[in-house]
Structure 1
Amino acid sequence: MAATPPRGPFLGLLTWPERQAVARALRTETVGGLVLLAAAVVALVWANTPFSDTYVAIRDFHFGIPALGLDLSVGHWTSDGLLTVFFLVAGIELKRELVVGSLRTPSTAALPVIAAVCGMAVPAALYAATAAIGGGSMDGWAVPMATDIAFALAVLAVISTHLPTALRAFLLTLAVVDDLGAILIIAVFFSSDINYWALAGAFAGLIAFYVMQRLRVQGWWWYVPLGVAIWALMYNGGVHATVAGVAMGLILRTTRDEGEQESPGARIGHLLHPYSAGLCVPLFALFAAGVTVSGEALGEVFTTPEPLGVIIGLVAGKILGIFGGTYLAARFTRAQLNPDLAWADVLGLATLAGIGFTVALLIGELAFPDAATREHIKAAVLVASLTAAFLATLFLRRRNRVYQRLYEEERVDQDGDGIPDIYQRTEGSSA
């Protein structure tokens, strides 16, 4: 049986169970990120061809059940419906991090949480400053706050870096905390026309969901209809329907009972994660990323305060917030950086976190009802994400030889027992 290594330095070796959990999550996210990247490219090409009218017609086509207040366009079904699955998976992942992952204790949670909070606060502040100086609207302050983990991992796959698992896990934890911040912002700041009866029904459904989990009720035929009802009531209550997904994800049990192979949270997460990453998020991107690209449109992105604030917030804000927050937190907590890594690696990771695609597009749609401004904000998110990806590629490729050595050391298994040898060394051996 693999020995658990002692608590090491910041960005040091993960424990074997944590390493396995992170590897499973990142594998699906990477594949989903490549599909997401393809969907974004298709959307951009489609929206800038003679067939752009077809794109708009499909995106704006309405269907649903008007009697239940669910007569939505295709674009709204993807953002309010399919992204609920994405946030359900995010809620499960957050619950796992809080219960058994890197957020379970204050000592392990301090650095990633501080980094994530700074990585949300500084971009919002830079957007606000840019909008104030340019006389623009403050409504988009939350757009540059989110990191898109799938898109970031797709970039890593495309540039073929061998980033060590600890760095990837840190990026994943940042994104999980980011998702929590995003959903809180959506729930608090982007709720409108509140229907208290519908919200009361949604909360009653969540209580029933919680009780069923406590009583160990099994069977999808109980949970699926209840989940759909909670989602519909939350939507009609005036709160963005994705909040229902996060709430149900946080309620799902992530610890195993005796005799269980998997907890309900792990089982549902494994079931839905491929659909979320490979279908739901790419379909949202397909109908959200289709913006008209022209010299005039790009000029307005860089000369209008709102989209310029998004670009500055995502590119400069993420670097200053995440790198600065991590560096200061490490100094005040006296955390020692893994001697095999350097602060330049954290800088590269902070730059990569400036890719803020999915949630940034969602918040942009909520923050700006005006179609013209919304298109400029979407273009800004795309420009900022591409810029962050380019800069991160420059930073990370410089260190790829170091990453490749660490990556290979983590995978040596000379005895062929399926557990890398680095996890079976005695506490006194060299690392």
Structure 2
Amino acid sequence: MQPDVRRLGIGSGTALCAGAVLGPGVLSLPSLAAAAAGPASILAWVVLLAMCVPVAAAFAALGGRYPDGGGVATYVHRAIGPRAAAVVGWWFYGAVPIGVVSAAWIGGKYVADAAGWGDTGAAAVGGAVLAGSLVSNAVGLRMSGRVQLLLGGLLAAVLLCTVLAAAPQVSAAHFTPFMPGGWASVGSAASVLFFAFAGWEAASHLSGEFADPARDLPRVTRRTLAVITVLYLGLAVATVGVLGPAAADTDTPLTALLTRSVGGAARPVAAVAALFLTFGTANAYLAGASRLGAALGRDGAAPRWLAKGGAPGEVPRRSLAVLGAAAVVLALAAGSGGTDLDLLMRATATCLAAVTLAGLAAALVLLPRRTALWYGVLASSALTAGVLAFAGWLLLIPAALAVASCCFLTLRRPGRGSR
């Protein structure tokens, strides 16, 4: 019998999952939601956190039953078929280079703002974040998980300290009028905040790395849900309660909160926190996506040479190299003014929402029907479909990736089908 080479424990697994779910949106979304709905934006946070529970629980249940680096694509393969699974895999694999560039750019902007370096400095810091994430994953998941655990703990501490330091300055007057824009504004805030909750599919690709996925994944999921609930709601309440109407006018609410609490020294603290968060996000997404690419190559849904290093405990460096090359090209295009951060984030979220919806559709087929979890998944599916409807022309991106996937499957050499 071969020894078990799977390496993720509860702590490092929680750190990787939390890093994937938290994402860089926590640095800006509290103010964007406040601009859309005022104090009532807190209701949008609560609703989406509640809707996040069945999504996380469903992916944990599926990961426990079908542990594999293919993640959501594996679930779709079992529920719908190999061609649909290939499309889902391409959606996620194509979204990750865009997402990690977005994350790195946000970290660069926070650091550059604190240091007064301007756009060139932001680009340099963003490049360093991207390079560090690629190197961490190339060394191996054990180091990646340990680094993520350290960074995740430091980030959670900074965010929690920010909330606690700001709490004494919360003013009840800032919560009235509570719903100035009516219920429609809460829906608008919820559509913005969805970008902070697209990360469970990234964590699903790591299910095969746990020694006992059926036992470990639910525990990791519960801990991750607890972490993001405390941090998201804490930041949302603090942003509205401390900054008041000014919350809608700042692009860096974390810096604004810390400045109100401890003064000008807060800027470098916020910059360091942003650096940790963006590195953690890029690190987690690259870890999951590199294994997805290897799984797609193994199953014939992508070039076979991507499969090398995809076994549990190994490092899929070829798949990681493809992701890194694509990210570098996108980063160069962004740095030359070919695109902007808002567009990159929305493009990423559109692809990830499509992946999430496909994963929920698979859960409706594979999980026991007419249970509380099944009905929760059904409600989350309706919410995700509504978010996708607001994506507009950005839906062309997952459509193009779907066409590319189908063309590859049609044109691949005979005898190289999925196993």
Name the structure with the higher helix share: 2
Structure 1 and Structure 2 fold alike (TM over 0.5): no
Q: Whose RCO is larger (CA < 8 A, sep 6+)?
A: 2
After TM superposition, the score normalised by the length of structure 2 is 0.28
TM-score, normalisation: structure 1: 0.27
